[in-house]
Structure 1
């Protein structure tokens, strides 16, 4: 009962209420959420087990809690979270959008935009870690911190160092806390907890999305910019999944080794700068946007001024290839390749041809049968 009072704040909660019917009812109530439907029942089960450990004395045969309904309860698994990443183009549009007009001195949209910028430019740093930063954690232009989410689960304490890029140093000055606290940022003056801070940041981000005319189901949140950093790093900056994970301070397979190796975080800083340059200091098209473009209708066309790379293959073996200009159509390319073929290609055999227009990147693949196509 003391455990229940400690967690629920009331002495009216009785162990008799923890029947399988009520537990299943709680699980069903949470079934519409992603993580809560798994985590809340698990936490309640742990409370129940802690109460049993404290109240039951099996060595002396004192059993105060005689039933355990959790054996019959099947806790649902958490839903796999949606991929929230947006394109670099959408990211540029978000940060370039004028803030909604307000009479507030410290409006939430401004807070949401600024913190989203911090998250994006610090390799997807979580808001709880931004909120908890101390003055002693930031020196030499580098922040030193342990990721709150996994620090107790990893042998390296989830420690990471991230160099602060120039683009957000003005924000560090804007939100720098006064001498009355050891916190790095003055967010603690306005919000009592990191949860409250994160919730208000998300509200500010959503208000900007609303002002942009976006449908509600597409509104962004803090995790949008964390996911966007990871996606941009991998898709547009040629980073490997391992490099992305290292920069974002994710757990590593070699967790024991990482626990006693002093890592060099320079590669993470360099990758972070590449992501920032791609998003904010270029108008390059993200690869996701290129893939989403509809294919142009019409035939594959070439002209004598275009540089062509062509090759022909039989059973995977390259029979002929060249890279040149001066071809007006596919038939001329085919003829030039066939002239290089060896004489031992069997009749009625299929040969595959591949032409790449090096000027526009278009590719055309086709095949011909010996005796008919050539």
Structure 2
């Protein structure tokens, strides 16, 4: 059982000479200190033991402790198995006469910040669009959780469908889906079923019909189109820096050769040993017991591309992080360059993700790889295999064999990766190289 005691601490004296009264909470040997709204002076405290002697404040803090005890007593013996966090949550916010509410818009922005910090910038962008639509619909920045009812959601969906330049069904589905995820995350955070604390009891999203998504545009390329991309000649570099066309072509083929490795994983991966790139797929690692770890063998046909973009410092596998400030600008550069690549091989609006779709489609439909191996190679989440995966030791052989089949079928060999450079640019780069070398020599002499 938790115990409470009002205390004052000598080392917490404020500049105005007052001391804040704290309520010490002790539970299963753990202690926490809760600030109260009450401040007292030295004359209100015993000189030697620093105990509160002012009866007025003794009565006030005793009242707070009685309230805390009353809130906890409703849970009976269940208190003993509660964590300190559960105890604190109950005594500070669990008021029978107080209705819990939450600014769901502000909560969404907090989650967006968390996603970006975790490297999920692309995913965060979809939530930004959803919450902006929501606040525009209500006409204010603050949207309370108590407002979110099935009728509210249906009205929002109808409003979205009436907006100009909106793909009916697709946008509505995605916005509702994103806000449902936020709503469920809030329920997970603020409800505590073990302690019987249910602050968000409703599930309004379960009472509406989500609009059906239109058929997704197929993004897979044929074997011949992959070959055509590999056969495209590099364009001449006209100014110092990266040629987007050449860069997009290279990284697209690199992704294809690495079983459709995502841009964010190419940008962040750090483990390259014994001819294998091992990484945890960022998109799914939080939903997998094994952290979505996968190891891809670098096949000889793609070694030149790997070497071309290797990070000389060894901090990461590739030096993309030195070329682009973050994964979003990296992805943007790739997709802009791929527009020109796509036009030359007859693919409208070619996107980087097509490398992944293409590998999967060619593996399944052309190379004779079974569906389960394709699924495993793509490192997807499979809830049906979640328990089985705990007992089976992983082998990368089936994935290696599947990739080998695809590479044999596509039959491209990227051995020449040197890009033609304009003579003026070459001279500038040569001068810059000499200048850097001279600075290094000068530094060495002065050491």
| Shared fold per TM-score greater than 0.5 | yes
> In structure 2, what is the equivalent of residue 7 of structure 1?
108
Q: Is the 1:119–1:125 Cα contact (8 Å) retained in structure 2? A: yes
Moved more, 224-233 or 138-147: 224-233
Q: Does 1:115 align with 2:251?
A: yes
Give SS of 1:222's match. Answer: coil
Unaligned runs of 5+ in 2: 1-101, 111-134, 414-447
Which blocks of at least 5 consecutive residues in structure 1 are unaligned? 283-374
Residue 174 of structure 2: aligned partner: 39
Q: Which residue of 2 aligns with 1:202?
A: 335
User: How has the CA–CA distance of structure 1 residues 51 and 112 changed in structure 2, closer, same or farther, with 3 Å as cutoff?
Assistant: same
Using the TM superposition, give the Cα deviation of residue 116 of structure 1 relative to its aligned residue in structure 2, in angstroms.
0.8
Alignment deviations for residues 320-342 of structure 1 (CA, whole Å, 9 cap, x no partner): xxxxxxxxxxxxxxxxxxxxxxx
Please tell me whether residue 171 in structure 1 is matched to residue 301 in structure 2. Answer: no
TM-score using structure 2 length? 0.52
Query: What's the counterpart of residue 232 of structure 2?
Result: 97
User: Is 1:272 the equivalent of 2:403?
Assistant: yes
Cα distance in 1, alignment partners of residues 288 and 186 from structure 2: 28
Match of 1:221 among 338, 345, 351: 351
Deviations, residues 5-45 of structure 1 (Å, cap 9, x unaligned): 25348993343986443354246659627865433322223
1:129 to 237, 255, 265: 265
* C-alpha contact (below 8 Å) 1:38/1:77 kept by paired residues: yes
Aligned partners of 1:184, 1:199: CA distance in 2, in Å?
A: 20
Matched residue SS, 2:387: helix
Distance in 1 (alpha carbons) for counterparts of 2:187 and 2:366: 53
Q: Give the CA deviation at 1:124.
A: 1.8
8 Å Cα contact 1:156-1:260 kept in structure 2: no
Q: Is structure 2 residue 218 aligned with structure 1 residue 83? A: yes
1:26 and 1:41 in contact (8 A); partners too: no
The secondary structure found in structure 1 opposite 2:220 is coil
Residue 242 of structure 2: SS of its match in structure 1? coil
Q: Which moved further from structure 2: 263-272 or 227-236? A: 227-236
Q: What SS does the aligned partner of 1:231 have?
A: helix
Deviates more, 1:65-74 or 1:183-192: 65-74
Which of 275, 281, 284 is matched with 1:141 structurally? 275
What's 2:361 paired with?
A: 231
Report the structure, 1 or 2, having the larger helix content: 2
Which residue among 300, 312, 315 is the counterpart of 1:182? 315
Query: Are 1:124 and 1:229, in contact at CA under 8 Å, matched by a contact in 2?
Result: yes
In the alignment, is residue 154 of structure 1 matched against residue 288 of structure 2? yes
Contact 1:85 1:224 in 2 (8 A): yes
Question: CA contact under 8 A between 2:256 and 2:355: conserved in structure 1?
Answer: yes
The TM-score with structure 1 as length reference comes to 0.61
Q: Name the SS for the 2:291 alignment partner.
A: coil
Task: Say if 2:237 and 2:243, in contact at 8 Å, map to a contact too.
Answer: yes
The worse-fitting range, judged by mean Cα deviation, of 12-21 and 140-149 is: 12-21
Pairwise CA RMSD: 3.9
Relative to structure 1, the CA distance from residue 39 to residue 192 in structure 2 (aligned partners, 3 Å threshold; closer, same or farther) is: farther
Q: Which residue of 1 aligns with 2:6?
A: none
